[in-house]
Chains A and B, each alone.
Chain A
């Protein structure tokens, strides 16, 4: 048996892969179920670096007079083009206010009304004002409030800057992970009775994204390789307003506060795409406050008509905030102003902001039920890494931060209950961990003579994904992507690794991240190819209609080691809202059931 790996395996009751919003909420939930349960937060970055930190606009929950849980549910379901599981959505909107109030009690600095109550703002696709916000750094404040609160729980142990390479599965249940401690290069098995995947999304599969460098679909790929299906992976959200070149997000709150989208003629072009008529003040579920998929698609149509502008980093349109005035911008959107000044040398108080659609969020993820449980015993998932599904074919802005809390909490409680069953560690786990260590050494650490640079493979993957699996797709392009991703996976076997150091080896982690992204890319393309309809964020030029007969169903894609992935379908759960037309900017919206 090889050295230290076998002799000392730290053991915990619940282990979280990822320490962002969902992971930290889950960790606290476990401690609240039973403070004697030992929790491990294993993250490749310090938790406060997690990408939750970049979320800007807000977090939705019904709190004000005149709003109702049914309206939040209806907005979410119609926003998701009827692909959301309605039992999950009902539970989500129901638990959302409690979770948000809990976070308030944990110190999140929510923006307030003059009387001291929590303030809310309008948001895209929402019929009522229900988006809580902490200026325009909501994710940052939520993450730091969760992280700092987590520090008071003695039962939470952290493995900061540990990179997980594999789930340990034996006797049909997950029993831990293998991870590399970046500081020392130590490869270590960490065992646990329950494991929760909270690793976020995978925006870096695409070239142009609001997502941080760490968003590589790690947890999705770990689950996929362990035989757990991924769900609805074809639904990739483009956010309509990212800065060219950097992809930095300009929050939807900028439109909620009254910003206009203008084409090169200064025309509010959304009026041409069945999103309503322009009004001077923002109107809920209309124009600039339409849903993200429809706004991103409208940009592509403007591009086709030659009505976008052209810059060094491609086509763009303008976001106009100038009419809001300095005071509103500085109090409600200070981060937008800071980002524009720092990264574009533009002052939104007096200048137009160049923006374009940019990959932002994965509606799909690890297949879970409403407790956050995956089909693999002991394995749970929450947050963007998971697909419950409450987001369906298109997520509404400000539902994802709330989702972290509601389903992070639920997964934490379910994982705690599972851990309390206290099953013993299987005998084969040590050998499996030793095999993983050997694999890492053989394929990466001790390997020489590789010919394929990481950046080259990554760039080719990103460009085929943008070309084939972007806002508009066709079967021909997706087939091209299918072949290309398979080719890249093959070439990855020859990946070039020059760095054989054990100390903070970021070439090694970049290679491992690329291998995760290639698996995720494969899943996205496969699901997109199989879904021969258009729905929400998945738009097929060759199949432009929604087809409820065949596709009112979730895609489940499963990894097969030496074959193409298998795609199956699971019917969408409909409770009270039968599939209907998505209507924005017109009064015809059907009333939610009473």
Chain B
């Protein structure tokens, strides 16, 4: 008989249950299977009502973030065998409202992302037909790692500040603001600074860097936050010492 492993999945159907409860399933412990494969096995062959998001199964669409044995993970890149002999507990990402089962509500992030103006801001607007903006490989390296964010929400799930204060813009949105600030083609740093400084939450961020620890794409949001704080502090001193310079 093939080996199996127990998966305890958080179930929550708001039309049926007042609060989430764990449900256990036995799934084959296939060495090639990731947690997401096990969830699909359950959905296809055991219980069609289990709900979760997934799409690419190659770690780039950012859909399948969940809490696996207490840690936020992309379930398409988390092997069952790593947790043998089990059980494995799969829950929705922390720090977000739960819509149903393993599906969280992420509209808050979508608004925050838009608020930091994650696009190229130019005072001038040269026509593309005139050719590309020159950017050396070294200039590309300045922002490249921040551009690798897949918006998977794993850093928000790990962020102690966001957990306490949902107003906090949060690691991914700040990293993406910094992605544009550091891009040699961009001229919008001041506008973004104004947005980020509207909320105090950022100062609550410690140097612990859980966001950077958990990021599946090796983005360093904690580094982005520290870069921002440094820039904002300089700005503050400048406005304090030279109040006329601001306008």
Contact = CB atoms under 8 A, between A and B. Distances in A.
Contacts of B77: 342-343
A54 B60 contact: yes
B14 to A, nearest CB: 6
Contact of B14 (A151, A342, A503): A503
Interface in A450-470: 453-455
Contacts of A183: 99, 105
Interface in A97-112: 98, 101-102, 104-107, 109-112
Contact of A106 (B14, B54, B101, B120): B120
B72 to A, nearest CB: 17
A246 B14 CA distance: 34
Contacts of A246: 32, 57-58
B185 interface: yes
A501 interface: yes
A496 B44 CA distance: 12
Highest count of chain B CB atoms <10 Å: which of A101, A109, A114, A245: A109
12 contacts: A45-B61, A45-B63, A48-B62, A53-B60, A98-B129, A112-B136, A148-B119, A148-B176, A245-B32, A249-B58, A342-B59, A503-B15
B133 interface: yes
Given A107-B185, A212-B56, A501-B13, 4 more contacts: A54-B56, A213-B55, A504-B101, A510-B43
B99 to A, nearest CB: 5
Nearest to A116: B134
Nearest to A141: B147
B192 interface: no
Interface string A317-349: 000000000000000000100110011000000
A105 B133 contact: yes
A18 to B, nearest CB: 13
B114 A504 contact: no
Highest count of chain B CB atoms <10 Å: which of A45, A46, A101: A46
Interface of B: 13-16, 32, 43-45, 47-49, 51-63, 77, 99-101, 103, 105-107, 110, 113-114, 117-120, 126, 128-129, 131-137, 139-140, 143-144, 147-148, 150-151, 176, 180, 183, 185-186
Given A101-B128, A141-B147, A151-B113, A107 B62 contact: no
Nearest to A213: B55
A214 interface: yes
Contacts of A453: 44, 48
Contact of B119 (A107, A137, A339): A107
A70 interface: no
B128 A502 contact: no
A369 interface: no
A151 B133 contact: no
